[in-house]
Each structure stands twice: as structure tokens, then as C-alpha cells.
Amino acid sequence: MAQTIRKVEIVVAPGQKKERIDKYLAAQLEGSSRARVQRYIEEQRVLVNGKAVRSSYGVMPRDAIIVNIPTSAPVTIAVPEDIPLDIVFEDEHLIVVNKPAGMVTHPGHGNWTGTLANALLFHCNRLSSLNDSFFRPGIVHRLDKDTSGLIVAAKEDTTHASLARQFADRTIDREYWALVWGRFAAKSGVIEAEIGRSKTDRKKFAVVEDGKFAATEYEVLKEFKFLTLVRLHLQTGRTHQIRVHLSHIGHPVFGDPTYHGRRINYGEATPRFKQQVSALLKVMERQALHAKTLGFVHPATKEHLHFESELPEDFSAVLRMVETL
């Protein structure tokens, strides 16, 4: 089978601590081990700011990394699928979509079809090839499968590169709303805790000593009997950051099955209380987390675009229910 090249581009986040590039890329590239990354480096398939490096190179904030991954033509390449999209904005350069909960952003292990990338390939005449043209065409950033809300995709490489730089520089305006367990001691604050792979479950993330710096701003919007609605801004963009940080400080996102949001975390577990929580969880079958606001400078027009999305029905329904408790 003929060999092809997957070109993956990564811009290192501003808050990244100095770390060996082989270790860093092993965590960034899905399905790649550290030994495999070292082989890519030896074959000069890894470029940092346009130059080949050694495995011992320490990645620095804002480094531009290109990895040219050799592969046989994959049978699991993302293919166009006729999946409805809730389009908020679209022009010849980019598209902003309101992603529903339950939709994976791009194909990967266990989710090769039915993703946002598959839907975008069907809808758009073209998508950018940066990042990973096989599995992530047009995908600039991602939302967790069961997180709803706004996401932008690029139709060509120049737009993709500009948006990626804005994300790396943290000039993108992103606001999340979450319904979480308990009440906060302070009405606003910043959660700062390093995040890395969980030591007990490699599929999960956790606050760990050797993790990557992460900071999440929060502001209390409304308090209920045992839940709180909060507004969140990311200072960094780690995987599962909001969910991990909130769980770490004792306020898991309500309904989150991975980070303790589906067990009683506040109040007395009386029969009546358990019944109330059970009724809410039947409505909110995923984490109550929504990417509500997205703003950025349009790479071509230089206009600042700002978008807002309404809370989805399951989220809104739970809010109506807790108002009555």
C-alpha cells in the first residue's frame, strides 16, 4: 500500500513548562508512543520553528511544531457524512457551529464516524489541511463529546494558522457556563492547578504534581439549593480542564460521569434529597457544561466577531427544575 504523510501542526501553549519534545509529543499525538516519536525525530520528521531538533530539545511556549507522520493510506480517514449542522456563521474562510452534546469533534479511537469533522466535510467544499488533514480537517480547537456549544472550523490553511495563533496567544474570547455541585466560598476567583494524565486511569486527567500549568477563572452567576450556575473563562486550554479543576476544588460539574458529577457531593443524602437529585440526573444525562460565547478576530477581514449561543434544552430544563426546589 502506498505511503502517505500526515502533517500535524502544533503551536505550544503560552503556559507550557519546558519539557522534552519526545515526551511532549507522545502526549499530544494520538496513538503515538515516546519511542515512535523519537524515531520521527531521528528521521528529521519533526521540525520546531522550521528546524530539525534532538529528542532532548525542551519545548517552549509558542513553539511551532510540525510532525510529518508516515502512514499507509488509512481506511479510517474522515469521510463526508450528511449530518445536520446548527450553523451560526459561515463565509468562504471559516464556519462557526453550535455543537450538540453527544457529538465528537473529530474521528479517533472508538469514534470513526458521526463526528463534527465528518459533517463539515459533507457541508463544506473545502477545509484546511493543517493540524491533521486525515482525521481533523478544518478543526482548530475541540469540545468534549458531551460538552455543547460554539466551535469554529477553518476552510483554508491561512485562516487556520491565524485562528490557531489566537488560541495559542489566548486572545480568543471563550465563555463557558456550568452547573456545579455546592456553593463557592468566594463569588469569583481563579483555580490554578497543574493537570496531567491520571496516575490511576490513563483515560482520565487529574491534578498532578508533574502536570502542565492550568488556570480557570470562575464567577458565580446564581446559587440554588445545592447547585451553583457559574461562568468560566480559560486562561489555558488543557484537556478536560474545566471539569478537572472544578472537581478538584470540590464542585464537580453536575451530571459529569467521569469526574464525580453524578454522585451526591453536597448536602445530606436523605431519601427526599436523593429523589430530587435522581430526577435532575434523568434530565441531564451528561455534564452540564456549555460553550456559550466565542469571539475572535476574523483572519481575512480583521473584524472582531462575537457569537452567543442559547443553553440547550436539557441544561435549561434542569435550571427550571432547581428553581422550584
Structure confidence at residue 3 (pLDDT)? 58
Spot the catalytic one: 22, 63, 132, 144: 144
Q: Which pLDDT tens digit goes with each residue over 10-33? A: 888 776 778 899 988 887 776 678
Q: Could you tell me the pTM of the whole model?
A: 0.79
Structure confidence at residue 75 (pLDDT)? 44
What is the mean pLDDT of each successive set of 10 residues along the chain, which is 325 residues long?
A: 71 81 84 85 93 94 88 62 96 96 83 87 85 69 94 92 86 95 96 91 88 93 97 92 97 97 89 94 97 97 97 97 93
Torsion (CA) 294, 203, 226, 219 in degrees, nearest 10: -30
Name 171's bridge partners: none
- What CATH code is assigned to 175-290+318-323? 3.30.2350.10
Q: How many CB atoms lie under 10 A from the CB of residue 192?
A: 12
- Answer yes or no: 169 catalytic: no
- Any residues with CB less than 8 A from the CB of 317 and at least 6 apart, and which? 283, 284
**Residue 247, phi then psi, degrees to nearest 5:** -65, -40
Domain residue ranges of the chain, discontinuous segments joined by +: 3-72, 75-169, 175-290+318-323
Q: CATH number of the domain at 75-169, out of 1.10.3720.10, 3.30.2350.10, 3.30.465.10, 3.90.120.10? A: 3.30.2350.10
CA 168, 170, 176, 178 torsion: positive or negative?
positive
Contacts 24+ apart (CB under 8 A), 240-243: 240/144, 240/195, 240/204, 240/205, 241/195, 241/214, 241/216, 242/176, 242/178, 242/216, 242/289, 243/144, 243/287, 243/289
CATH superfamily of 3-72: RNA-binding S4 domain (3.10.290.10)
Q: Which pLDDT tens digit goes with each residue over 148-183? A: 999 999 998 889 888 988 888 889 999 999 999 999
